[in-house]
A = this chain, B = another copy of it.
Amino acid sequence: MAGNSYGQLFRITTFGESHGGGVGVVVDGCPANLEISENDIQKELNRRKPGQSGITTSRKESDTIHILSGVFEGKTTGTPISLLVYNEDFHSSDYDNLKDVYRPGHADYTYDVKYGMRDFRGGGRASARETLARVAAGAIAKKYLKEKYGMEFLSYVEKVGDIDSSVDLNTITSEQIEANIVRCPDKNAAEKMIALIESVRNDGDSIGGVIRGVIRNVPAGLGEPVFDKIPADLAKAMMSINAAKGFEIGSGFAGTRLHGSEHNDEFYIATDGKIRTKTNNAGGTLGGITTGENIYFRVAFKPVSTIMKKQRSVNKDKKAVEFTAKGRHDPCVLPRVVPIVDAMSAITILDHILRNKAYLK
């Protein structure tokens, strides 16, 4: 109810702030007997961690994961898995000059209104550091879905600012995505994106972009009709990520310009006898339920709010102020958001796998 849990049957509850003891997650509802190690989780966390490349923040944190419960002799037991990363590298003093300022684009003002106070260090609970807990939980979901269903989660950076990419969603691999620091499998576009991010950073500014989400080998029949449609739950999952401003699935906004006769995906019988669709404007679901075609979607992320330029705002005492942020920040959050999108996708799909299974014969 207070918004720190996600999922119904595979349910995660995250906790922790940017500064303080640590950031973690309790995963409740992971089926028993899945082999899982800290290393399986660490690999995904490393894709998200700060300081991983020249185009992210230069802040260095090891983000080392600890499994505190729920795993016995290398396997999940069916009981809650708690995962914890201790905080380190405190530069609380970076925030001292800002503790009373309502930074534009940040949650400072809204948290103060809501709670009558806030932990101002590093954004407190509103910090993107919270998302490491999602990536940790998502690593478990990804592993389960890979092993039991051969599912793959292949998000990548599709756009940075105006720079677009061209990628074949049917053949893309995770190696291609990880082949460069911006996580765009179109090599030419990736180079331009990196150059743009570097230029933006040199200006002390930031830039937004679009992540393409791709989920492959999804069983048909997942999703609940009416409110808990797969597109609805994916939309919620994605829009809950810091800085997300838009979500579309399949043909999305562009599809609104089509006629029904163009948009409808024709069914046919594939050579393996399966029912397939010739096109996939739907993006992998009909009536909110998966068709078995790949799910693909796009998520818009605004430019990072923290910039190194002087800005005007107001403070807690309702005085006008001018300020310049200190510290080390990402000029573009997109490359580090890729594993978060994958994690939220995997958590959402695994939750629906379990829900669907409950009602099967």
Contact = CB atoms under 8 A, between A and B. Distances in A.
Nearest to A262: B303
Contacts of A292: 113
Interface residues of A, number: 153
Contact of A256 (B106, B260, B281, B300): B300
B305 A116 contact: no
A105 B253 contact: no
Given A6-B227, A208-B255, A253-B245, A24 B236 contact: no
A246 B247 contact: yes
A203 B22 CA distance: 47
A125 interface: yes
A253 B301 CA distance: 8
Interface string A213-249: 0000000110111111101111111111010111111
Given A32-B116, A259-B200, A263-B302, A225 B26 contact: no
Q: Which DSSP category, helix, strand, loop or mixed, fits chain A's interface?
A: mixed
B260 A304 contact: yes
B227 A3 contact: yes
B15 A70 contact: yes
B359 A32 contact: yes
Contacts of A229: 3, 239-240
In the complex, which of the residues A229, A286, A305 has the most CB atoms of chain B within 10 Å of its own CB atom?
A: A286
A118 B286 CA distance: 14
Contacts of A355: 1-2, 9, 358
A253 B229 CA distance: 22
A314 to B, nearest CB: 5
A220 B267 contact: no
Nearest to A72: B119
Contacts of A82: 15-16, 21, 24
B231 A239 contact: yes
Given A15-B82, A228-B3, A265-B105, A26 B29 contact: no
A205 interface: yes
4 nearest CB pairs, A to B? A107-B287, A3-B224, A246-B248, A21-B68
Nearest to A240: B232
Given A15-B68, A267-B314, 7 more contacts: A3-B225, A15-B69, A24-B68, A107-B288, A206-B259, A232-B237, A273-B318
Contact of A267 (B67, B231, B246, B313): B313
22 contacts: A1-B8, A1-B28, A2-B11, A4-B26, A9-B359, A16-B82, A23-B69, A24-B69, A104-B264, A105-B264, A114-B223, A207-B260, A209-B256, A227-B236, A235-B236, A245-B253, A246-B246, A247-B248, A251-B302, A260-B304, A269-B320, A357-B357
